[in-house]
Amino acid sequence: MEIEWLQVVWFILWGVLWGVYFMLDGFDFGGSMWLPILGAASERERTAMYKATGPFWDGNEVWLITAGGVTFAAFPLAYAVLFSSLYTALLILLFCLILRGVVFELRFQWDNPYYRMTCDGIGVLASVVAPLLLGVAFSNLFRGLPLQYDSAKDFFMFQGNILNLLHPYCLLGGVLFVVMFLYHGAIYLSWRVVGDLQKKALYMAKFTWPLFLLLFLVYVALTFFWTDHFIEPYLTSKLLFAIPLLCAILFISSGYYMYFKNSPGRAALASCGGILTFTLCGVMGMFPNLIPSRLDYPGSSLTLANASSSNLTLGIMLAVAVVFVPTVIIYQIWAHRKLSWPVKADYWPSRARTAGAHSSQAGGISPRRPRITRGAGPLTSARPLGPLPRLSGHAVFRPPRAARLRPFSRLSGRPLPSQSPLIRGARSRRASPSPTPPAHPSADTGTSVTRSGTGTAPLVLARAQDFCVAPGVCRGLAAVRTPSRRALSRRCPGQPC
């Protein structure tokens, strides 16, 4: 049987879909595997790591469903033989993917350290086992499965068990996938997060890249010795050597941007292209076989000629794919552009009631925010500095660098010293004493500072950092001192520390 052009097109699309899945879900696998190391310092860093991959992990799994659906619809016989031969390994892979989704969705539903520790352990284990199984499975496809064709029953039989799949070459492929996703996840985290967590992620990416490059070269070298059919397409068509050459250039470029240019974004994009071309290298090495057999029986390999659907089915599928695959790609690009904000490990809460139900809202910010006033005029017409984050029910004041508070009122009975470092440019005007001390405004109206035990007008300090002098200790009240050495008390803008 001759190979039709539709079969070749779907063979290439099949490899591209698997490559896109490895490229996108590799971020999630790698980010989860780094959780015990990069997130060991605090719960905030672990939550920030979940926040970096939270909006995208379920969208990345769509490409796995698409690749499996293409295998089922375009190559149904290969789908049946593959899932029956690798049933145990694929079932474990399925459970790992399910557990990862459960961890992403349910980790923030209960603010219990042991519960979250259990969820983190399950997520890390599933994120290590899944790439390991994928690498072992694809290495077995490159090497060939022990398949035998029974012409009497028209049936392909798998002559072996799961232990026959654990060849050293296949195990090396599984380890290569794990290290590749470790590097991919580390460079992605260094791109998404900021602060100390970014520095640690970039350090781990620089540590992992040489190890991955070494394993990659050893794996490619062993492919020439432990595979029978993998090199034939490249020897037949010399143009196919452009794919592994491009793969090597992209992986080296990723390290170059990371080491010398300090550009995690470009390094992550180069790593994405390297993973995509690496998958295409393996798929094109099997052409025209879908599942090659390493047994010496005629007709035991599944090829494009004997395992594809009809031309009518492939034509309809191609028409649908031309419309919907670009739509999904455009949507994913839009989602990554809209949701790829810098993630800071300082702001995310540890309580489940502020975390949100969905994983994409994990570590969200509570809508209640204290307000700090500035500008001249009475407190009733004060303007807020902007939204402030909340951390575990406590008010955290992080003003912008340019934010400064101007004095707009005065103490009654004596002028303010103009040379004070706290209050600058104060006018020495007298004000009539108030009959009663002003009430402290709530968190929604502002923050006032009054002299303890006296009925004076409110005073706003000039320096923004003086708004929180004893976080976690003041229990709602904090003591500050004016230039006149008189103690003043003020109420925190939010809930008690």
What is the three-state SS of 47-105? Answer: HHHHHHHCCCHHHHHHHHHHHHHHHHHHCHHHHHHHHHHCHHHHHHHHHHHHHHHHHHH
Q: Which residue has the higher pLDDT, 295 or 323?
A: 323
Q: Which pLDDT band holds residue 384 (cuts at 50, 70, 90)?
A: very low
Contacts of 33 (CB under 8 A, 6+ apart): 124, 127, 128, 178, 181, 182, 185
Contact by Cβ (8 Å): 119, 156: no
Backbone angles phi, psi at 483, to 5 degrees: -60, -25
Alpha carbon distance, N-terminus to C-terminus of the chain: 77
Please report which confidence band the pLDDT of residue 1 belongs to, taking 50, 70 and 90 as the band edges.
low
- Provide the pLDDT for residue 274: 94
User: Could you tell me the sign of the dihedral formed by the alpha carbons of 212, 213, 218, 224, in that order?
Assistant: positive
Average pLDDT over residues 383-390: 40
Query: What whole-number distance in Å separates Cα of residue 63 and Cα of residue 57?
Result: 11
pLDDT digits (tens, 9 = 90+) for 273-310: 999 999 999 999 888 888 988 887 777 888 898 889 99
Q: Which two tokens stand for residue 304?
A: 């494009």
What average pLDDT does this structure show over 45-55? 87
Q: What confidence tens digit (pLDDT) does each residue in 86-98 have?
A: 888 899 999 999 9
- Report residue 346's pLDDT band, with 50, 70 and 90 as the boundaries: low
Structure tokens at 47: 């939550």
Q: What is the mean pLDDT of the chain?
A: 74
Segment among 9-18, 34-43, 210-219, 453-462 with least mean pLDDT: 453-462
How many other C-beta atoms lie within 10 A of the C-beta of residue 497? Answer: 18
H or E stretch at 387: none
Give the integer Cα–Cα distance in Å for 426 and 410.
8
User: SS3 sequence, 198-222?
Assistant: HHHHHHHHHHHHHHHHHHHHHHHHH
At residue 57, the pLDDT reads 86
pLDDT computed for residue 420 by the predictor: 44
How confident is the model over 397-440, as pLDDT tens digits? 444 444 334 333 333 334 444 444 444 443 444 444 444 444 44
**Superfamily (CATH) of domain 5-344:** Formate dehydrogenase/DMSO reductase domain (1.20.1630.10)
Kindly list the distances between the CA atom of residue 18 and the CA atoms of 4, 118, 227, 317, in Å, as whole numbers in the listed order: 22, 31, 21, 17
CB 384 within 8 A of CB 400: no
User: What residue spans define the domains of the chain?
Assistant: 5-344, 368-427+440-497
Residue 394 has which token pair? Answer: 């406590």
pTM over 0.85: no
Cα angle 305, 293, 233 (rounded to 5 degrees) comes to: 60
Q: Give the Cα separation of 10 and 22 in Å (integer).
A: 18
Please, what's the largest Cα pairwise distance for the chain?
Answer: 110
Helix (H) or strand (E) holding 449: strand 449-451
The least confident of 185-199, 222-236, 335-349 is 335-349
The percentage of residues in the chain with a pLDDT greater than 90, rounded to a whole number, is 36
